[in-house]
Structure 1
Amino acid sequence: MDKMKAVLFPGQGVEWRRSMQSHLSNKIVEKTLVEAEQVTKIPLKKYILDAKVDHDLPKLSTMIVQPAILACSVGLFRAFLKRTGSSALFVGHSLGEYSALVASRALSFPSALKLVMARAKAMDEACRLTQEKTSMLALTLFNRPTYATKFQDDIIKAKEPFSFIDIANNNSSRQTVLSGKYEELAILAASIQSKTVNLGRVRVNWLDVAGAFHSRYMSPALQQLEEALLKTEFLTRDTCFRSSSGELRLPIVSNVTADLYPIEASKIREILLLQCVKPVLFWQSLSRLKSEYGITRCYPCGPGSTMQSLAKQNEMHIEEV
């Protein structure tokens, strides 16, 4: 067990176009992107090649970004696997969980692309259906580590007066992301910055997103996503992993439960559906890897540097992919 590693896959918020330029010369990555283009009809390589360093990039829609990041992550993982080939447990951040399903061979790459396209469309439409302005707010603590142990509890107390704010991500003991009604988030942000609400030394960042992901505001996406999930085949027979309790599970830690995925297709669908409206328990997921499986080394696998940053916040030793 001590020889196992964790492979981490990023979610939607990462920068992928510029960060992937240096990987296009890798034949495995290039072949994966071509395969994805054939399924999605999205010119992924063109989007990457057009991303010049000295130009501002136009914002792309969720329906392009989600399958693009999935394809980039799978391509980089395939290249990584060819070099290493050793066993791993997988953790994906939100969208990254679909990359993890492909990496574990529980979901075929073409099926994952189609499913993620349906997910992106459902989430995009949910954002459009929301009557009020919504957004997401990241809170990052700069205080000493001893203070971080109570940071999460302090955030829960700070949001209690607000009726339309949900916790979207528990990224680490020092970083939480909130989703909800923009008006309430703005009041909370101002209170934190003015020290009316004292959370310690906290950086407040608004996320550049279309809506309040991983919150109640994504509920309109559930029916459409469920229909897509019911059409998707999950291949779990040859991907089982014996958990610390002796149960057969998939080698993927779920965002929803911070536990290994069950092997039953119906339960996999249920978790992926809940993921849209439940918080990403990333901090808890990495904590489980360390406490139950003794895994402290991780390989961030995907575009951008978000996973490297979160791994560092969670005191994981980062290995180069």
Structure 2
Amino acid sequence: MKAYIFPGQGAQYTGMGQDLYQSSEEARDLFHKANDILGFDIAKVMFEGSENELKQTKVTQPAIFLHSTILSKVLGDSFQPDMVAGHSLGEFSALVANGTLEFEDALKLVHKRALSMQAACEKNPSSMAAILGLEDSVVEEVCESVDGVVVPANYNSPGQLVISGAHEAVERACELLKKRGAKRALMLPVGGAFHSPLMLPAREELAKAIESTTFHQPICPVYQNVTASAVSDPEEIKTNLIEQLTAPVKWTQTMKQMLADGATDFTEVGPGKVLQGLLRKVDRQVTADSISGL
């Protein structure tokens, strides 16, 4: 079975998607639609913007979504997924790829998500940290023991878990995790505590937009971050997409479940090869490749 996976924030780079724009009329039309929806020239920022410009959440999220989604559309008949999944933001690309969301509706939701997350970050100064070399259960135990908000946010691969929360609580958890044997406990250069309770204001704002958007019956299941299981019911997909902002990304569990359900061939669609690397930490023998352009 063919599985397509879609990257999230952090995969961006200057020049992303430019070859699609230059070689495909369909891609150009979609980029122009995106410029109109967003109210600024996202294509220009993607192709020519500095690293700092691309790092802004309001730019990063629609940019990565556009690269992945436009690429999956211009692949044409060769794009035949049996199952899809996306890491955090990438879940929106996955939902366009399997027909749950229309391109324009998904982009509007991604834009709303980016702006509301940016606002939540500014309201609650907070951070994230990558923890390497410990069992998930140890990281969970330490987070529970720390005063203040700090929670597991991204279960990326065996031995790699990102924590998220209030700045002081994250720093304290890092100190304790080093004492428990973590190979590394590295503060990440992000603007806020994604996938933590501190994103609740953003979730409430995004929920209104999601509830008023039409979700269609998908052509294949999406393995959602919140459940790490196959979901095909549009209403259930909606609920999980809302929960995602304050719940952890169960990526390790998702990859294991897709493999258990018969995935034999994985393709990462969009910028970078991060997900391909994480997948190989789950199963070294798996067939995996990536597509970032035509």
With structure 1 as the length reference, what TM-score do the two structures score? 0.82
Aligned residue in 1 for 2:252: 283
| 1:50-65 mapped onto 2 (5 Å cutoff) | 50-51=48-49, 57-58=52-53, 60-65=55-60
Aligned residue in 1 for 2:168: 183
Give per-residue Cα distances to partners, 1:76-125, cap 9 Å, x unaligned: 11233x26243321010011111011001111000001111111122122
Higher CA-based Rg: 1
Aligned residue in 2 for 1:155: 139
| 1:170-319 mapped onto 2 (5 Å cutoff) | 170-193=155-178, 196-199=179-182, 202-236=183-217, 239-241=218-220, 251-265=221-235, 267-291=236-260, 293-315=261-283, 316-319=286-289
Partner Cα distance (2:202, 2:94) in 1: 22
Q: Residues 121 and 71 from structure 1, CA distance in 2 versus in 1: closer, same or farther, beyond 3 angstroms?
A: same
Give per-residue Cα distances to partners, 1:120-139, cap 9 Å, x unaligned: 12212212222xx3101111
Question: Is 1:136–2:128 an aligned residue pair?
Answer: yes
Aligned residue in 1 for 2:120: 126
Q: 8 Å contact 2:139–2:152 — kept in the other structure?
A: no
Aligned residue in 2 for 1:108: 102
Match of 1:271, SS state, is helix
Match of 2:267, SS state, is strand
Match of 1:87, SS state, is coil
Q: 8 Å contact 1:5–1:89 — kept in the other structure?
A: yes
Q: Residues 47 and 240 from structure 1, CA distance in 2 versus in 1: closer, same or farther, beyond 3 angstroms?
A: closer
Structure in which a larger fraction of residues adopt helix:
2
How far the C-alpha of 1:235 sits from its partner, in A, is 1.5
Q: 8 Å contact 1:139–1:203 — kept in the other structure?
A: yes
The one-letter code matched in structure 1 to 2:78 is T
Aligned residue in 1 for 2:42: 44
Question: Is 1:94–2:88 an aligned residue pair?
Answer: yes
Identity of aligned residues (%): 30
Q: CA RMSD in A?
A: 2.1
How far the C-alpha of 1:47 sits from its partner, in A, is 1.2
Partner Cα distance (1:309, 1:32) in 2: 29
Any unmatched runs of 5+ in structure 2? Answer: none
How far the C-alpha of 1:19 sits from its partner, in A, is 4.1
Aligned residue in 2 for 1:30: 28
Q: Residues 317 and 25 from structure 1, CA distance in 2 versus in 1: closer, same or farther, beyond 3 angstroms?
A: same
Q: 8 Å contact 1:30–1:75 — kept in the other structure?
A: no
Aligned residue in 1 for 2:154: 169
